[in-house]
């Protein structure tokens, strides 16, 4: 009997769902999972029919428990360095997708699991779950973007508290500190994620991509340069059919029918 693939790709309309499919290991990230994710993300990057990407976990125990420590114990120092580089590359691949991305955390997310969620644009968390960058308790540090992305999201002081104390944060507190955007009822993360995606896709898909580029640039550029880049992104949308369709729909008092053109 063939083994289950470590990652499932499920397409629902204009949305691609990436499902981490190792529930027996709390969807931990091993070499095979990372390779499969990176290959899938490379295909999605070029797929104009996909307007948004969601990432979730199989089963009910966890979204992703981070790196597979059982596999890690078999690695020498050089292999560990290569593994960390590959998992960091995965997070960068996810963060740089042109489509909006949503982490639908159906359970706990620790270490690399939370780093994966931080690489997404929006985050939903099951209200019964907790999250944390707990690597310092294992005598390492978040090495796949956690130390860089978390303080940009919740501020340096809170990020130091979470990482240096290896804190596991319950869902309600994660919402209050801005680590996640929405809570889902216990067991209802997938449905809540689908609702958020439907809300997202009421908007023009090309505009969403352009806005994402402008927002990402604004974090790192001086204000004057960020404003100039925003203009570049805006100009890219002016010739699109979707922009004209939105104007027609407004005049005719109906929902727009976007085509991604």
Assign 3 a pLDDT band (cuts: 50, 70, 90).
Answer: confident
Q: Are 100 and 120 in contact (CB under 8 A)?
A: no
pLDDT score of 2: 61
Among residues 66, 112, 143, 146, which one is catalytic? 112
Query: Does the annotation count 252 as an active-site position?
Result: no
Query: Does the annotation count 112 as an active-site position?
Result: yes
| pLDDT > 70? residue 125 | yes
| pLDDT > 70? residue 62 | yes
| pLDDT > 60? residue 1 | no
Among residues 16, 66, 103, 135, which one is catalytic? 135
Among residues 54, 58, 67, 159, which one is catalytic? 67
In sequence order, which residues have a C-beta less than 8 Å from that of residue 147 and are 6 or more positions away? 141, 159, 163
The Cα 261–Cα 242 span in angstroms is 6
Among residues 103, 115, 119, 159, which one is catalytic? 115
Q: Which CATH superfamily is domain 205-252 in?
A: Lyase 2-enoyl-coa Hydratase, Chain  A, domain 2 (1.10.12.10)
DSSP 29: B
Return the CATH architecture of domain 7-200: Alpha-Beta Complex (3.90)
Query: Does the annotation count 103 as an active-site position?
Result: no
Give residue for tokens 């100039």: 228
CA distances from 58 to 36, 62, 110, 189, 197 (A): 15, 8, 15, 11, 19
Assign 45 a pLDDT band (cuts: 50, 70, 90).
Answer: very high
Q: What is the mean pLDDT of the chain?
A: 94
pLDDT score of 61: 85
Domain with CATH 3.90.226.10 in the chain: 7-200
Query: Does the annotation count 10 as an active-site position?
Result: no
User: pLDDT tens, 182-194?
Assistant: 999 999 999 999 9
Domain with CATH 1.10.12.10 in the chain: 205-252
| DSSP secondary structure letters along 113-144 | HHHHHHTSSEEEEETT-EEE--GGGGT---TT
């Amino acid at each position: 009997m063939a083994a289950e693939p470590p990652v499932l790709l499920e397409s629902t309309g204009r949305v691609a769902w990436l499902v981490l499919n190792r529930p027996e290991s709390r969807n931990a990230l091993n070499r095979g999972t990372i390779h499969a994710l990176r290959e899938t993300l490379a295909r999605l990057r070029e797929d104009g029919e996909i307007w948004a990407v969601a990432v979730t976990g199989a089963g009910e125990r966890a979204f992703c428990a981070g790196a597979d420590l059982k596999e890690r114990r078999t690695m020498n120092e050089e292999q560990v360095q290569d593994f960390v580089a590959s998992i960091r590359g995965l997070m960068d691949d996810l963060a740089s997708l042109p489509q909006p991305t949503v982490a639908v955390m159906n359970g706990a997310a620790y270490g690399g699991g939370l780093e994966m969620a931080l690489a997404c644009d929006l985050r939903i968390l099951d209200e019964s779950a907790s999250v944390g960058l707990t690597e310092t308790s294992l005598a390492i540090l978040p090495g796949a973007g956690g130390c860089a992305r978390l303080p940009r999201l919740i501020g340096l002081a809170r990020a130091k508290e979470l990482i240096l104390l290896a804190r596991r944060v319950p869902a309600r507190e994660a919402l209050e500190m801005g680590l996640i955007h929405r809570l889902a009822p216990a067991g209802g993360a997938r449905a809540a994620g689908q609702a958020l995606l439907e809300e997202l896709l009421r908007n023009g898909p090309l505009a969403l991509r352009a806005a994402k580029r402008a927002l990402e640039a604004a974090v790192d550029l001086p204000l004057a340069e960020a404003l100039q880049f925003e203009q570049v992104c805006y100009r890219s949308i002016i010739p699109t059919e979707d922009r004209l369709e939105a104007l027609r729909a407004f005049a005719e008092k109906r929902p727009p029918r976007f085509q991604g053109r």
